[in-house]
């Protein structure tokens, strides 16, 4: 491999000749060979949008000339088009401020810009990082990436799932089945009513996520190193925020207190709490689906789910609820990520939080995992659910808790006697009620109407 020499304030560093990054990126690669987790692509994109907006703001405030601005933006557009994706190789496990990722962007933009210009016009610090600090750019990129991923990926996945559940709810609004509480038989419901509970969980989670995004719209840019805004011209923060809002179509605003914006990550904690609530709801829905589909002969067997792949390497013909299992595993990971983000946010010592890369990584992983698993679950499981009406009717007929319909006529205690006798002697509620001389056959038939219990 051929190398070229790059320089920073610590001296010279050998960098692979074909790479666009510079000395500080190379030092990070050498000093932080930790794990396999790389900075998320969505964070790099958000950083690129930020650098593009900073160049425009610096031009408008007479800090940068048009030639430099256009060159920076031209490279940013290449990055956003995906043509330079291999130039961002840094580990999540680096400096807690994300300085090396900020410099990775600065170096790639400067070196690629100089290639395009065929002369040395751009300096990574003096031009690309002008009016900025890693301490305010990284938290800004975190928020931009979080909001963008939620808006463009997670919310559409939630809407698609909700639409499928609305269809299932409507199609099964008159299909009677046994309700269950405490994993025990309860009074009847319709399958449509059961599905409506799932649908409402998704809709409520979506509303909570949207509400939680308000704090993420606040951007730290303009605080520079410690929140004072040193070396950032007046109006820079508002100018950059406006550019980012125009470019993304999202209502970002400048944080009114940059000291808070640099050291606190409470907005990430709050928003991820809504993601955790979604994960909890998805866990419940997936568990319900796999319980209801359990069998096919020795379980509840009240619904049919799509058969996507063989379920066993040893048991021929076995099919498992694999989509449900994927959902529940993702839910566990999101809940674990929530703990990591909460702990990371608690470490804002003095003027800077230095757990930002792990906070960003876990947040963005949660958004992407939830998005992907909801789309998979919706398309490969929920959309193909069919009620097993024969099994539902059989279970409803055998349920003892339909005795609740009789208590207005004979009271709670006599109702309990009917249910216990039916269970002990393995006979129907009707037979038990008649044996106890609490109902005649005609009286029982008039009183016992499960379809009216829903």
88 φ/ψ angles, rounded to the nearest 5 degrees: -130, 75
Q: Would you state the structure tokens that stand for residue 126, as one six-digit string?
A: 């003096």
For this structure, is 312 an active site residue? Answer: yes
Burial class (CB in 10 A: 0-12, 13-18, 19+), 86: exposed
The residue annotated as part of the active site, out of 18, 120, 204, 312, is 312
Q: Rounded CA gap, 108 and 88, in Å?
A: 8
The residue annotated as part of the active site, out of 182, 200, 272, 342, is 182
Torsion of CA 274, 219, 48, 71, to 10 degrees: 160
Helix/strand/coil (H/E/C) assignment for every residue in the chain: CCEEEEEECCEEEEEECCCCCCHHHHHHHHHCCCCCCECCHHHHHHHHHHHHHHHHHHHHCCCCCHHHHHHHHHHHHHHHCCCCHHHCCCECCCCCCCHHHHHHHHHHHHHHHHHHHCCCCCCHHHHHCCCCCHHHHHHHHHHHHHHHHHHHHHHHHHHHHHHHHHHHHHHCCCCEEEEEECCEEEEEEEHHHHHHHHHHHHHHHHHHHHHHHHHHHEECCCCCCCCCCCCCCCCHHHHHHHHHHHHHCCCCEECCCHHHHHHCCHHHHHHHHHHHHHHHHHHHHHHHHHHHCCCCCCCCCCEECCCCCCCCCCCCCCCCCHHHHHHHHHHHHHHHHHHHHHHHHCCEECCEECCHHHHHHHHHHHHHHHHHHHHHHHHHCHHHCEECHHHHHHHHHHCCHHHHHHHHHHCHHHHHHHHHHHHHHCCCHHHHHHHCCCCCHHHHHHHCCHHHCC
Question: Which residues make Cβ contacts (< 8 Å) with residue 341, sequence separation at least 6?
Answer: 265, 268, 269, 272, 359, 362, 363
Torsion of CA 59, 65, 67, 72, to 10 degrees: -50
Residues designated catalytic: 182, 312
């Amino acid at each position: 491999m051929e190398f070229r020499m790059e320089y920073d304030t610590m001296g010279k560093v050998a960098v692979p000749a074909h790479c666009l990054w510079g000395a500080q990126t190379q030092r990070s690669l050498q000093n932080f060979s930790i794990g396999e987790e790389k900075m998320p692509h969505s964070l790099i994109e958000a950083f690129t949008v930020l650098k593009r907006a900073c160049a425009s703001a610096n031009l408008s405030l007479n800090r940068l000339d048009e030639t430099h601005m256009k060159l920076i933006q031209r490279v940013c557009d290449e990055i956003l088009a995906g043509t330079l994706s291999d130039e961002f190789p840094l580990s999540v496990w680096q400096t807690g401020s994300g300085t090396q990722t900020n410099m990775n962007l600065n170096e790639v933009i400067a070196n690629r810009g100089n290639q395009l210009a065929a002369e040395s016009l751009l300096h990574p610090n003096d031009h690309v990082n002008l009016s900025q600090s890693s301490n305010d750019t990284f938290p800004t990129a975190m928020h931009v990436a979080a909001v963008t991923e939620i808006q463009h990926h997670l919310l559409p996945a939630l809407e698609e799932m909700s639409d499928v559940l609305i269809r299932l709810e409507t199609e099964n609004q008159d299909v009677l089945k046994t309700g269950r509480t405490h994993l025990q038989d309860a009074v009847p419901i319709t399958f449509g009513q059961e599905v409506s509970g799932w649908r409402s969980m998704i809709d409520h989670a979506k509303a909570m996520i949207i509400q939680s995004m308000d704090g993420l719209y606040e951007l730290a840019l303009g605080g520079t190193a410690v929140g004072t805004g040193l070396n950032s011209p007046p109006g820079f923060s508002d100018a950059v925020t406006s550019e980012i809002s125009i470019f993304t179509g999202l209502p970002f605003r400048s944080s009114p207190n940059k000291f808070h914006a640099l050291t606190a990550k409470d907005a990430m904690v709050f928003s991820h709490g809504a993601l955790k609530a979604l994960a909890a709801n998805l866990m419940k829905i997936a568990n319900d689906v796999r319980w209801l589909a359990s069998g096919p002969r020795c379980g509840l067997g009240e619904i049919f789910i799509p058969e996507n792949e063989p379920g066993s390497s040893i048991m021929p013909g076995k099919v498992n609820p694999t989509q449900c299992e994927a959902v529940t595993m993702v839910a566990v990971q999101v809940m674990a990520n929530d703990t990591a983000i909460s702990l990371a946010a608690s470490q804002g010592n003095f003027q800077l939080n230095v757990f930002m890369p792990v906070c960003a990584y876990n947040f963005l992983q949660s958004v992407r995992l939830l998005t992907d698993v909801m789309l998979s679950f919706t398309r490969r499981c929920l959309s193909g659910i069919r009620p097993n009406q024969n099994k539902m009717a059989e279970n409803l007929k055998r349920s003892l808790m339909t005795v609740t319909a009789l208590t207005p006529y004979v009271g709670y205690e006599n109702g309990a006697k009917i249910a216990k006798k039916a269970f002990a002697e393995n006979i129907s509620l009707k037979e038990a009620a008649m044996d106890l001389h609490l109902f005649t056959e005609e009286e029982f038939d008039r009183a016992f109407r499960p379809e009216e219990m829903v």
